[in-house]
Structure 1
Amino acid sequence: MTMKVLLTCGSTIAMTAMFAAAPVAAQTTTTPAAPASATTPAADQAAAAGAIPDAAAQSEDIVVTASTGERSRFRSSISVSQLSNEAIQNFTPRSVAEILRNVPGLQPSDTAGPGGNANIGVRGIPVSTGGSEYVALQEDGLPDVLFGDINFGNNDYWIRFDQNVKTVEAVRGGSASTFASQAPGAVINFISKTGEKAGGEVAYSNGLGFREHRVDFDYGAPIDDTTRFHIGGYARNGGGYTNENFNILRGYQIKANLTKDLPDNRGYIRLLFKRLDEQAPTNTTTPSLATVKGNTISNFQPLPTFDGRDGSAYSIYNRYFQYLDYDGGGIKTAEMQGIHPRVTSIGAQFHYDISDNLTLDDTIRYQWISGNFTTQFINVTNRVNTVAGVSCAATSPGANGVIGSCVNGQIVGSIRYAAGPNAGQVYTGSYINNNPNINTLMKNMNNFANNLTLNGKFDVGPGKARVTAGVFVMKQNIVQDWHVNRQFSELNGTNAAPLDLFSTTGTQLTAAGQAGFNDNWGSCCARRVDLTYTDAAPFLQVGYEVGGLNLDASVRYDSVHGEGTAQGGVAGPTTQVRDALGVALIPSLVLSATPEKIDYTDHYVSWSLGALYALSNNTSVFARASRGGRFNADRRVLSGNFNADGSLNAQGQATSVNFLNQQEIGLKQRGGVLGGSYSVEITGFHSTLTENNYDFTRINQPAPNNNPNISNGYRSYGVEFSSRFNAGNFNLAVDATYAASKIVSSATAALVGNKPGGLPDFLFVVSPSYDAGPVAFGVSVNGQTSTKSDDFNLYTIKGSTFVNGFVTVRPTERVELGLNVNNLFDKLGFRGGGSLGPTVSSTTAVFNNTALYGRTVTGSVRYRF
């Protein structure tokens, strides 16, 4: 099967090469400029000169991510993309995940909002549990956290894009398996400016039609002939893109670095600092109405009281809520902040040329990380129970919360507003929200990372050999308390009020809408974890280059040790709680007195083999095969994987590591056409994965998708396409991914042969722009084809296409006025899968998923100096 796929991809690439080369033959071949340095890529040089970067010359930028840092994009046998700061800023990404839409091969569900919590898939491999299982986010070469899918600690929580970033570089597949840990799918590296040339900028931006005020600045410069610095950051506050009536979005980031060149130009020492302290909203479900025709869901429309484009769970009536402390502190109050990361980071980079043939590099960093995930989830259900004959056991907590259902051992007879102008009045709306409020305290997410490499270059026969040996060590703490409370509120996109439930005999069952402490998802999720994982990974790469041929082989050995404890929930006290309507007795779960112990070590080997041949100065082809491991960490606790002494039991040993196998063939072409310059990169890929994992969020879902144990085999094949073209003042970027995915094996027999839920076959981004100097403008069209609702393929969800745009006016040499629009046509649409909620008619139902934000317009003024 693999050979057939590769031959098919090879034929596609060959035809594309013929098409790309044809116009070049009609004119003089364009020879790219001399290679730009790793610190000053071609894009930066062109921007400094006030010109559009030459598309062909950009392919000579040195790749520093998941590589030796010795080769250009054109001469590297890997699939790599480089996004400049200016190109990203033009389209005002509202989250890190939105930036990643511009990287072919990635499948980000970029609907979670600026706080993060996005799912980031790669090359048709699904995100089964949440987060970024096979994708690492790095800052200056080190991952922000060791695992991209930590429960309540995903890697996009801890990183922000701003003017400090010079380039975002993305490597998919290939050497990501052996030059990085826990990221066989892709490595995304946010590379900082370092002050080679004096200059900077300050900018103020303001939401037009929503409250967000933001100030950005950065400045870098040489201090003397051997010393330079860069410093920058931002501060912002406001109601966020859904324009809340309080500052749900507020905080700042400061980053700085200082570089000292060593004598005789033999290297440098660089110190780095970062402080991030920002609360930002994260979105869960933003429901809509949808047309259901057969098994197809389409034609999304707002609900009467909730519009997914600007509706939100954040409300002036839920800014604070109560939770039950696990350490005997009684009832405490949490502030609704979305995701609030607090990161203080110090690090250093050391580069030294021991000789002309031997180079030593070391990157080291320590991060103090804490924060909280404090938000309101949304789930839509009917106000009145449609199931007759409900009876309640005395100990039944219930979950539905609607009239006629059971809550805390009693039948609900009425629902009343618990706050707001209608407090005390009977609630008669069609729907209620019965999803929890959550307060996860990320008490200690500190980590330490160090990556040491020794690079050697030697003449061997007619060519040159390159040997890279290194070791990566990272220690990651995961110390958290989870408080997941049963909560009820009206379904309203603006300032939803909590709802109190009363029994048929008039007993108040909730207070301020809360029906239970720590018990919404059962005993799994009244949880405390105190875990530490240490990954030690030596790696080796050997390469040989002769003429246009470049061969390399690499291997990595990861040894991961996990230790600590995890506690689940047991029945706790019933607490008397008062609100404006009266007193309710609220049940709870507290921590088990018998924690699960974790104390074990597991290891695995990853490898990669690659070859590239430069057919000419303008055309190269490459092939690569690789296998990368991915360690299952905190998501495996409290799910039957450990013996009493903390060692892995038989199930744990069989499921502790997932392996991603990939084969790639690719074409890289550059040159001149139609009076301009272009570059094209095409990669055909084939991927297989056997994944074992555990997703506690499935426990309370409707059958059949309610089994938390995941044991599936996946197969995916497809093509990544990336091209850049510029002629005069015109620039065009086109990125697209086709990925055909399939579940080929599963412990759940009904899944075999299905398409993984939430993955489109085709994604694309087309971005033309024009820069005439005094005026620049452009649009970006991004979209995807339909997806399946879930792994059972119950429904097909229609895909959506969105348009962003920008206009920049430069009235004087150093001043820019900008207008940026996201979702220009205010389209209501979704990424990923989803599920159906209550039925409205024979052809209409409530659709549960997270919509993209509606149209948001930002005005800005920028001064460069």
Structure 2
Amino acid sequence: MRKTITLLAVTTALFPLSAWADSPVGDAAADPAPAKSAFTTGVAKGRDLLDTAISASTLDEGDIARIGTRSVAEVIGNIPGIRAETSGTDGLTAITIRGLPLAADGSKFMQIEEDGLPVLEFGDIHFGTSTAFLRTDLSLSQVQAIRGGSASTFASNSPGGVVNFISHTGEVDGGALELSSGLNYSLGRVDFDYGAKLDDHLRFNIGGFYRQGEGPRATGYDAYQGGQIKFNVTRSFDAGYVRLYVKVLDDREPNYALAPVAVSGTDASPHYSVLPGFDARTDTASSRYIGSTLGMDQNNNPELINLHQGNRSKVRSIGLESQFDIAGWTVTDRFRYSEISGAYNETQGLAIAPAAAIAAMFGGQGATLSYADGPQTGTAITNPAALNGNGLAAYNLRINVALNSLNNVTNDLRASRVWAVGGGKLTTTAGVYASSQDVNMMWNFNTEISDYAGGGNSTLLDLTTANGALLTQQGTLSYGLSSPTGNDYHHYYDVNFRVFAPYGSINYQLGRLAVGGSLRYDAGRVSGNVYGDDLGGGRIGTATVNLNGSGPITLPETQVAVLPLSQPGLVDYNYDYVSYSVGANYRLADDLSAFARYSRGGRAGAERALYPPSINPATGQLTNPASAYDPVKQAEIGAKYRQGGMTLYVTAFWASTIDSNYQISADASGQAVVIPIDRKYSAKGVEVEGEARHGPFSLRLGATYTKAKIDSDANDPALNGNTPRHEPNFYFTAMPQFENRLMSIGANLMGVTSSYAEDNQGLKQPGYVLVNPFVELRPAKRVSVRLNVYNLFNTLAIVQASASNLPETGVVNAQVLNGRTVTGAVRLSF
């Protein structure tokens, strides 16, 4: 951190205010019209948005730099109609669109793409969401998003929408090097990007980043470490081009999952606050003292699991894109092969209570706790009420997932042609999409006891009964998660998902009117094996194993979760469904258009449906074939206005879906429970997106009003008519800015109204507004200095609270956004 502060000071000294007059940035023009660049994501051919019957948005690289965070989910959350739940990292996110349900993590109904192809075929793979394998850096040119509309027919498994992260491809010679660092936290980062034309027909671009440090929350070690490099080269021809992409990503980051906060008041009007000795905005369950745990791999061999690698993402991909004009047709093909792997580590408090109560809960009357690691290892805790100033201990679930292979192969071939018909233009498109998605991963769930100490100083706790019997092994109660149905969630997946999808569209434009429709047929093939004793059939799920390889067998080592490797569960089923979309757009005037559209799409089930009761492990068939995919219906009507320095898009929408899923919920005490979901949902609302410019002043605004409800619940009819959990009625973003050739100064505002913590409409999660100011100075040619402040007022922003009602303990597990963080950056352009 001191090095970055010094660098900023030296830069200011070398480039004084008198040098600003030489800045290459021009004066802000009076009322410049927003860019009219063609929108290309989720449509047949790129067109001006005022000529298309879709709802779409674009964020350029300048917007992303000023948002105040590099988190993929928070960047996406700045797009109207899309709401992202995250805590500042990319490995644990939940993203939804237009009120579609947020029953689990990931992005079930929305596809996330990179350069026109999906990062993963399914955005909600357990512990392996799409955002985990995507990063933003200087190589990113823009983010395009389409909500509803033709997204359901121009991509598979994307009925709600598509968000596409588009890279620079070397159209402009030059590049940039940026050094940034936290000024009130420890994290250093370097970003670079460079592109050039090697001759009239050959150009390239290379970019990436590297970062290392503890991060904005205390862990006691470098929880962030790694980066990526991306390269592409383009060879142009008279009739088209060929482009090669390469990407290598190896990055690890902490898991800012649920952490305890204090709560008081009532269900309808709760008051949340940080705990003494532990601030969920700046502290985590990660600790310098908890570096590893024991478990069993997919071959039932003991392994030492590295917890300090946090959420690790590894990608090695190569892609080929080509486009040519052939006999009047524009033929485009995109291909990518990605080797994807990594690890997921999370600590989830199953029960958080006064330390003495936790001891009595599992050890009986008179049980005591002692430190299992750290500088006080073996020391008894004689005054549990004063432990870390909050007196709390937790019965934790330690989740470790080895993402052995999420390898993905994708190809999208399409051909389009524009015909002159009857005085208008008829655009026809035909295409075929094919993909193969592996899901090979091993789940290890351990249960343990720990405290909650700030500063990255939490420790595991050993438990001893009143008669001196030790019930834990270095804080671990059991090497598994046992229940009456078996050793739950000790799972191994080795499954492949194949998708084959032909599609086509027609669009006819006559004068100011454009009408069109598109059709897609998705056929899927799912095959492989899954393992676990909760598959039924008398499978053995526990064994006695000397996990640490020395000393006597401890009590936890007599109940170690193992896989019944000789009794796999079979996965073997097919599915198919049809998606369609029809719409019309009318250009009322040069600066005004109106549109309407109706669409039906689908989302195939991923690995969440591969264990009973969803599947018969003997035959591999789904017990309910209708659960192979969830249909989504949408209707929208809107208007678009653009003149001078003003744009305004307003869209009213309605959506309906079925969701077959599993949801991690919580009871009134905060105890985590997993429930099956079989529901029908509906949502209606209005999106507003606008931008206004006047001289050096500008305002970018996005707002969404949504009213969502559970229409019917097959498992719990008492929920019928309720508002789904985590669904606020209103959320918005705004970016006011002043900009001239010397500086840019403004703020990114993000706000959300209250919502319910769970579907029973009990405990509420309060709304919040985050104020994220930024200032960028341009002291000399090709030099800029930027300061970003995230969460200026250090708001305790609750993303999710894990309790259906106000807990008697006055403590609830919650996922919160980062507290105030200040980041400085220096960029050199060349």
**Gap change, CA 1:771 and 1:412, over 3 Å in 2:** farther
Asked whether the equivalents of residues 24 and 782 of structure 2 are also in contact (C-alpha less than 8 Å), the reply is no
**Gap change, CA 1:311 and 1:187, over 3 Å in 2:** same
1:671 to 637, 643, 656: 643
Aligned to 1:858: 823
The yes-or-no answer on 1:714 pairing with 2:681 is: yes
Asked whether the equivalents of residues 335 and 374 of structure 1 are also in contact (C-alpha less than 8 Å), the reply is yes
Asked whether the equivalents of residues 418 and 498 of structure 1 are also in contact (C-alpha less than 8 Å), the reply is yes
* Structure 2 letter corresponding to 1:851: V
Map Cα deviations across residues 788-811 of structure 1 (whole Å, 9 max, x no partner).
Answer: 111111122221111001111111
1:824 to 770, 792, 797: 792
**Gap change, CA 1:475 and 1:52, over 3 Å in 2:** farther
1:425 to 379, 404, 408: 379
TM-score of the pair, normalised by structure 1:
0.88
Aligned to 1:627: 600
* Structure 2 letter corresponding to 1:303: L
The yes-or-no answer on 1:480 pairing with 2:441 is: yes
Counterparts of residues 748-767 of structure 1 (less than 5 Å): 748-767=716-735
Aligned to 2:158: 183
**Shift of residue 575 of structure 1?**
3.7
Secondary structure at 2:360 match in 1 = coil
**Shift of residue 311 of structure 1?**
1.2
Asked whether the equivalents of residues 96 and 116 of structure 1 are also in contact (C-alpha less than 8 Å), the reply is no
Q: Matched residue pairs, number? A: 788
Counterparts of residues 481-560 of structure 1 (less than 5 Å): 481-494=442-455, 495-519=457-481, 523-560=487-524
Secondary structure at 2:562 match in 1 = strand
**Gap change, CA 1:703 and 1:828, over 3 Å in 2:** closer
TM-score of the pair, normalised by structure 2:
0.91
Q: Which runs of 5+ in 2 are unaligned?
A: 1-22, 534-539
The yes-or-no answer on 1:93 pairing with 2:69 is: yes
**Shift of residue 561 of structure 1?**
0.5
**Shift of residue 648 of structure 1?**
2.4
Aligned to 1:19: none
Q: Which runs of 5+ in 1 are unaligned?
A: 1-46, 387-401
Asked whether the equivalents of residues 102 and 725 of structure 2 are also in contact (C-alpha less than 8 Å), the reply is no
1:723 to 684, 690, 699: 690
Structure 1 CA distance for aligned equivalents of residues 460 and 32 of structure 2: 58
Cα RMSD of the aligned pairs, angstroms, is: 2.3
**Which moves more between the two structures, 537-546 or 50-59?**
50-59
Map Cα deviations across residues 348-382 of structure 1 (whole Å, 9 max, x no partner).
Answer: 11000113x31100000000111111233334521
Secondary structure at 1:600 match in 2 = strand
Aligned to 2:409: 448
Structure 2 CA distance for aligned equivalents of residues 82 and 348 of structure 1: 24
Asked whether the equivalents of residues 321 and 335 of structure 1 are also in contact (C-alpha less than 8 Å), the reply is yes
Secondary structure at 1:436 match in 2 = strand
Counterparts of residues 831-846 of structure 1 (less than 5 Å): 831-835=799-803, 845-846=810-811
Structure 1 CA distance for aligned equivalents of residues 229 and 303 of structure 2: 35
**Shift of residue 76 of structure 1?**
1.4
Aligned to 1:244: 219
Structure 2 CA distance for aligned equivalents of residues 285 and 683 of structure 1: 35
Map Cα deviations across residues 88-126 of structure 1 (whole Å, 9 max, x no partner).
Answer: 111232411110121111111122x32422000111112
Structure 1 CA distance for aligned equivalents of residues 601 and 292 of structure 2: 44
Aligned to 2:428: 467
Aligned to 1:567: 531
* Structure 2 letter corresponding to 1:382: A
**Gap change, CA 1:53 and 1:556, over 3 Å in 2:** farther
Aligned to 2:737: 769
Secondary structure at 2:487 match in 1 = helix
Aligned to 1:377: 348
Asked whether the equivalents of residues 134 and 630 of structure 1 are also in contact (C-alpha less than 8 Å), the reply is yes
Structure 2 CA distance for aligned equivalents of residues 421 and 580 of structure 1: 23
Asked whether the equivalents of residues 121 and 127 of structure 1 are also in contact (C-alpha less than 8 Å), the reply is yes
Aligned to 2:243: 270
Counterparts of residues 144-183 of structure 1 (less than 5 Å): 144-183=119-158
Secondary structure at 2:555 match in 1 = strand
Aligned to 1:284: 257
The yes-or-no answer on 1:439 pairing with 2:406 is: no
Asked whether the equivalents of residues 787 and 833 of structure 1 are also in contact (C-alpha less than 8 Å), the reply is no
**Which moves more between the two structures, 549-558 or 71-80?**
71-80
Structure 2 CA distance for aligned equivalents of residues 120 and 110 of structure 1: 8
**Gap change, CA 1:48 and 1:754, over 3 Å in 2:** farther
**Shift of residue 343 of structure 1?**
0.2
**Shift of residue 48 of structure 1?**
9.3
**Shift of residue 504 of structure 1?**
2.5
The yes-or-no answer on 1:116 pairing with 2:116 is: no
Structure 1 CA distance for aligned equivalents of residues 24 and 336 of structure 2: 31
The yes-or-no answer on 1:362 pairing with 2:333 is: yes
**Which moves more between the two structures, 562-571 or 56-65?**
56-65
Asked whether the equivalents of residues 667 and 805 of structure 2 are also in contact (C-alpha less than 8 Å), the reply is no
Structure 2 CA distance for aligned equivalents of residues 125 and 58 of structure 1: 31
Asked whether the equivalents of residues 670 and 802 of structure 2 are also in contact (C-alpha less than 8 Å), the reply is no
Asked whether the equivalents of residues 203 and 863 of structure 1 are also in contact (C-alpha less than 8 Å), the reply is yes
Counterparts of residues 580-619 of structure 1 (less than 5 Å): 584-586=554-556, 587-592=559-564, 593-619=566-592
The yes-or-no answer on 1:653 pairing with 2:615 is: no
Structure 2 CA distance for aligned equivalents of residues 704 and 215 of structure 1: 42
**Gap change, CA 1:199 and 1:162, over 3 Å in 2:** same
**Gap change, CA 1:742 and 1:420, over 3 Å in 2:** same
Structure 2 CA distance for aligned equivalents of residues 51 and 476 of structure 1: 50
Asked whether the equivalents of residues 351 and 670 of structure 2 are also in contact (C-alpha less than 8 Å), the reply is no
**Gap change, CA 1:619 and 1:699, over 3 Å in 2:** closer
**Gap change, CA 1:358 and 1:326, over 3 Å in 2:** closer
1:306 to 273, 278, 292: 278
Structure 1 CA distance for aligned equivalents of residues 801 and 444 of structure 2: 27
Asked whether the equivalents of residues 55 and 148 of structure 2 are also in contact (C-alpha less than 8 Å), the reply is yes
* Structure 2 letter corresponding to 1:742: K
Aligned to 1:26: none
**Gap change, CA 1:323 and 1:171, over 3 Å in 2:** same
**Gap change, CA 1:703 and 1:322, over 3 Å in 2:** closer
Secondary structure at 1:658 match in 2 = strand
**Shift of residue 505 of structure 1?**
1.7
Structure 1 CA distance for aligned equivalents of residues 281 and 111 of structure 2: 29
**Shift of residue 332 of structure 1?**
2.6
Asked whether the equivalents of residues 42 and 162 of structure 2 are also in contact (C-alpha less than 8 Å), the reply is yes
1:737 to 693, 704, 707: 704
Asked whether the equivalents of residues 272 and 346 of structure 1 are also in contact (C-alpha less than 8 Å), the reply is yes
Map Cα deviations across residues 205-238 of structure 1 (whole Å, 9 max, x no partner).
Answer: 0111211010000000111001110000000000
**Which moves more between the two structures, 588-597 or 705-714?**
705-714
**Shift of residue 59 of structure 1?**
5.5
**Which moves more between the two structures, 372-381 or 571-580?**
571-580
Asked whether the equivalents of residues 472 and 536 of structure 1 are also in contact (C-alpha less than 8 Å), the reply is yes
What is the percentage of aligned positions where both structures have the same residue? 34
Map Cα deviations across residues 588-630 of structure 1 (whole Å, 9 max, x no partner).
Answer: 1111231110111100001000110000110000000001100
Structure 2 CA distance for aligned equivalents of residues 864 and 601 of structure 1: 53
Secondary structure at 1:662 match in 2 = strand
**Shift of residue 58 of structure 1?**
3.5
**Shift of residue 703 of structure 1?**
9.6
Structure 2 CA distance for aligned equivalents of residues 806 and 455 of structure 1: 43
The yes-or-no answer on 1:787 pairing with 2:720 is: no
**Shift of residue 57 of structure 1?**
4.2
Structure 2 CA distance for aligned equivalents of residues 53 and 309 of structure 1: 41
Structure 1 CA distance for aligned equivalents of residues 736 and 235 of structure 2: 40
Aligned to 1:20: none
1:404 to 352, 360, 373: 360
Map Cα deviations across residues 297-336 of structure 1 (whole Å, 9 max, x no partner).
Answer: 4332111121111010110111222223342422434242
**Shift of residue 698 of structure 1?**
4.7
Asked whether the equivalents of residues 31 and 694 of structure 2 are also in contact (C-alpha less than 8 Å), the reply is no
